[in-house]
Amino acid sequence: METDTRMHDEIQSLSTKRLMGKVAVITGGARGIGAATAKLFAQNGAYVVIADLLDELGANLADSIGGRYIHCDVSKEADVESAIKLALTWKGGLDIMFNNAGIGDAGGSITNLDMDQVKYLVSINVYGNLHGMKYAAQAMIKGGRKGGCIICTSSSAALMGGLGGHAYTLSKEAILGMMRSAACELGVHGIRVNCVSPHGVPSEMLVSAYRKFLGRMDVNLEEISKIIGERASLLPGRCGSTEDVAHAVLYLASENAEYITGHNLVLDGGYTSASSNMSFIYQC
């Protein structure tokens, strides 16, 4: 009886390790969505390389999950290539690439955009994803492993106007286009390419955006969560979290999603699916 119980526990433990032995690179993995995903991947048996500019945060997180850290500016092609090479030299292959690094913009009118700022944002949000796709695809095709998975972070701003600044919106729509195009080419190699598009997930980047929008420096995560839960979700009081996004990325990276490619998984509490919450229709 004791032996049966022990075997059952071991099987249950293995069944929850949805990425057992997989090797993953996560850009922007030091905090926010990237950090939540790195932790969840490691809990599910993956070997994780965190690529970021936040050296102390990234290195500490990597150490805590048995992973590796590398300083990486995704706008620089050589930096992204180095991150992929680290995964290859460390564990001999690459199974999952999560292109998550990105920045927001200050908004403002289309009539007075600072084009230097636009180019800088595009170099990170668009070129950064392109660099990740390029070198991940090379490694997956040449590595001799079965297939692979590339996931990118887009945004609800790519689906609806008015949810982000012009440059940010441009970049997030571009990511969707690149994802679909890459999925068309890489499917023959068994490589799946997908996106996640979060809406209003409280993070350091969103706090900064709200502070600029509201003109208040005292805005915090708790206040933003309340605002989003009340105004930007069809689920009353429910605000998305970095962990919600991490679980969606885990699903797309796992064998449970092995027939899904070219897909944009939206995490918005239904916000982009309706112009308003029409629950009043059903109230007596």
Catalytic residue numbers read 168
Are 117 and 166 a contacting pair, CB within 8 Å? no
CA–CA distance, 198 with 97 (Å, rounded to integer): 18
192: buried, middle or exposed (CB in 10 Å: 19+, 13-18, 0-12)? buried
| End-to-end Cα distance, the chain | 56
CA–CA distance, 51 with 62 (Å, rounded to integer): 10
206-212 — which CB contacts under 8 Å span 24+ positions? 206/104, 208/104, 209/104, 209/107, 212/106, 212/107
CA–CA distance, 223 with 246 (Å, rounded to integer): 22
Alpha helix segments (H runs only) across the chain: 2-15, 32-43, 55-64, 77-91, 115-125, 127-142, 166-186, 204-214, 221-231, 242-253
CA–CA distance, 206 with 27 (Å, rounded to integer): 18
CA–CA distance, 62 with 56 (Å, rounded to integer): 10
What does the block give as tokens for 266? Answer: 């939206």
